[in-house]
Amino acid sequence: MGGSLFSSATGAFQPSKTESVANYCRISGPVKLHLFQELGAKASELHGNGIASNRAGVLRSNKKSVIQAILQSESEVETANGRGTRGLRGQLNKVVLAYSGGLDTSVIVPWLRENYGCEVVCFTADVGQGMKELEGLEKKARASGACQLVVKDLKEEFVRDFIFPCLRAGAIYERKYLLGTSMARPVIAKAMVDVAKEVGADAVSHGCTGKGNDQVRFELAFFALNPNLNVVAPWREWDITGREDAIEYAKKHNIPVPVTKKSIYSRDRNLWHLSHEGDILEDPANEPKKDMYMMSTDPEDAPNEPEYVEIGIVGGLPVSVNGEALSPASLLTKLNEIGGKHGIGRIDMVENRLVGMKSRGVYETPGGTILFAATRELESLTLDRETIQVKDSLALKYAELVYAGRWFDPLRESMDAFMEKITEHTTGTVTLKLYKGSVHVASRRSIYSLYREDISSFENGQIYNQADAAGFIRLYGLPTRVRAMLEKEL
């Protein structure tokens, strides 16, 4: 994570109404360095650099086993009525909330405190949504009454452990969808469970609605990783029905409403894709507007000259672009830039949601589209017919499991082991030609190639004798001949 995210000092922010934070948190004493170490920097199952802010500035740690924590202030924080006070709906000690800083999650913070008498730890995952969405989160979380903000850079883990396995498996949902949101939810949920353990939380919460797929994806991951955690889904419990209700609730509880221009589209962005839903897209008969797209150039406006890009692949996983070895996240970032410039990866589809309804979405997946094309082309050299057929059939099930939130299901994990085994020789390079929204293969090379020019040539050779085909055809076509003979006799 860059230091710019935490550029403001913790003490610099003052709520517009002095009572806004005091209503939810009470100062009980100074926090020593050991408290930060206990809450934010002790060894954990998470990986990455940790950053914690306090009044003295920003502390950094180069340890790999830390979580990034922003404490509300140099104080221990308790609920306004003291620990153990029952809320309107029950009692929880501490809840880890999947937090974006938008209106919904800003309102969820005080709602959780009011209804469950708990402390709220806001958690934000950086999965490549962009720095703009991560700016100012400390101020927003404090203004809403959160006692702690934890930020985790998950980009490398997201690409390495979630995106690349799906890529290797060839998982595509309903012929088009490359599972961008579906893959992001389990990596976020996994980090939330880890953070809950670190901070001693007994519950987790999310802002997903009761109509979508994400509620299932989050909660199945919670169940798989820690079935003892309570799960709170406010949209399935509260009386808030829309944006205006949420604004009124925020005003009533002296919570500053995030001042942002509301997009007419519902979007979800990460390093793999950008999805668009809502507004005119709700009618499948409407063509998307040209200015809606954000990751890719309109193919009509793309460069008039094609660009060639070489993808290096080892064991079914991409490792380099144009001969340059890159980390998983860096590789995908580079291909997003290249593909976006040429209008690659735009998908418009009507899909079947897990909850039963159909929905229309438009997706931009420039780098992912390039990678899928490259891996498929290399497999055409390195896998035999039967293996490709079985792999493709399993890829459909693999995609269904990921879409349905069953990432940590033993079946998906077993299928992943199969995919890893059969692609162990899918190693080589593929050169693709990008031009105005299209991806075409230019060359494929592999030391494990099953393609033999001496066999495929029209000339006779020692390995393949064309005369042998006559006997093969007679035997292969025997069932057809027998059926035709029977019909003739009848």
Q: Which residues are annotated as catalytic? A: 104, 185, 214, 266
> How many CB atoms are located within 10 Å of the residue 409 CB?
15
- Report the alpha-carbon distance of residue 8 to residue 157 in Å, rounded: 28
B/e letters for 418-433, b = 16+ CB within 10 Å, e = fewer, are ebeebbebbbbbbbbe
The H or E element that residue 53 is part of is strand 50-54
Give the integer Cα–Cα distance in Å for 138 and 151: 10
3 state DSSP class of 109: helix
In the DSSP assignment, the letter for residue 258 is P
HSE, side-chain direction, 13 A CA sphere, residue 54: 15
Question: Quick one: DSSP state of residue 437?
Answer: T
Token digits of residue 241: 């029905």
Q: Give whole-number Cα distances, 184 to 40, 217, 325, 326, 454, in Å.
A: 23, 9, 24, 21, 46
Q: Cα–Cα distance between 345 and 84 in angstroms, integer?
A: 52
Among 143, 148, 120, 149, CA closest to 253: 143
Give the C-alpha separation, 139 to 149, whole Å. Answer: 10
Q: What are phi and psi of 461, to 5 degrees?
A: -140, 180
Residue 174 CB: number of other CB atoms within 10 A? 13
398, 409, 412 from 417: Cα distances, Å: 12, 13, 9
Burial of 43 (0-12, 13-18, 19+ CB in 10 A): exposed
